[in-house]
């Protein structure tokens, strides 16, 4: 029996203009916290490099994928004008939307984290709140600083996959100024913050779990993997 293979997406960093001609427009990388997060599970981890759009070949060799966090998505991709987005990107979201849609077609399970839940929502026809602090009345602070992440309470909904893993109320690591504006068709609410923002959703078929917080930075990460890997991957041969 082999270990489950988990594919994880990488962040896209803009290369210096002086290096683009020699090295290309993008650098691809991942915060060590994600490596440590997956390193605690008995799995084989593979970075999914955006070398092509042959998503099927990439997905045929993994048992599940993790869509990681990152920067803002170009609001044109969800039918809005810029209204508080910060240095939004188009290349990575477009590529990961394609990867996600092929994963759904192939029934490859998906765990979405932060930008991941937003990418899933956009791929499913949803919208984003572009800036929580200016567009959500009486909102909590969700962003914090990279060196001092914000911790806040999240309520886990009853009768969800997350409710079988986590307590009803938990403190999570939060680092986002955007959020999904609603639950897309085929999904249901799995977690919310006290100000009413969506913090988690799950697909009706049970193959997608997505959270707005950062489980790779708090206690929820190992608990999620411990439960989701056998659920998603089952026995591997």
Main-chain dihedrals φ then ψ at residue 58, nearest 5 degrees: -65, -40
Give me the catalytic one of 96, 114, 124, 176.
114
Q: Taking a C-beta distance cutoff of 8 angstroms, is the pair 155, 194 a contact? A: yes
The H or E element spanning position 182 is none
- Are the C-beta atoms of 197 and 212 separated by less than 8 Å? yes
Instruction: Assess contact for 233 and 4: CB atoms under 8 A.
Output: yes
Cβ burial, residue 65 (10 Å; 0-12/13-18/19+)? buried
Is 40 in contact with 86 (CB distance < 8 Å)?
no
The label of the residue with tokens 């910060």 reads 86
233 assigned to active site = no
> Which of these is catalytic: 96, 199, 202, 216?
216
Which of 221, 214, 223, 158 is CA-nearest to residue 191? 158
Q: Which residue among the candidates 152, 176, 177, 214 is catalytic per the annotation?
A: 214
- The rounded distance, in Å, linking the Cα atoms of 128 and 115 is 11
Max CA separation in the chain (angstroms): 53
Active-site residue set: 114, 214, 216
């Amino acid at each position: 029996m082999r270990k489950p293979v988990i594919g994880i997406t990488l962040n896209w960093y803009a290369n210096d203009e002086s290096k683009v001609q020699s090295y290309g427009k993008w650098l691809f990388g991942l915060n060590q916290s994600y490596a440590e997060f997956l390193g605690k599970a008995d799995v084989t981890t593979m970075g999914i490099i955006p070398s092509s759009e042959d998503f099927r070949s990439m997905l045929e060799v993994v048992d599940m994928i993790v869509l990681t966090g990152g920067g803002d998505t170009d609001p044109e991709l969800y039918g809005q004008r810029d209204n508080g987005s910060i240095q939004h990107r188009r290349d990575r979201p477009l590529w990961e939307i394609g990867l996600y849609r092929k994963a759904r077609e192939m029934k490859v399970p998906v765990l979405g984290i932060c930008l991941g839940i937003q990418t899933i929502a956009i791929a499913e026809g949803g919208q984003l709140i572009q800036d929580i602090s200016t567009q959500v009345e009486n909102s909590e602070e969700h962003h914090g600083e990279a060196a001092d992440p914000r911790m806040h309470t999240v309520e886990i909904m009853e009768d969800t996959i997350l409710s079988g893993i986590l307590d009803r109320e938990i403190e999570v690591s939060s680092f986002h100024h955007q959020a999904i504006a609603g639950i897309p068709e085929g999904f249901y609410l799995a977690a919310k913050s006290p100000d009413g923002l969506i913090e988690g959703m799950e697909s009706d078929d049970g193959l997608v779990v997505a959270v707005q917080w950062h489980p790779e930075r708090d206690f929820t990460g190992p608990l999620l993997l411990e439960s989701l890997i056998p659920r998603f991957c089952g026995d591997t041969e």
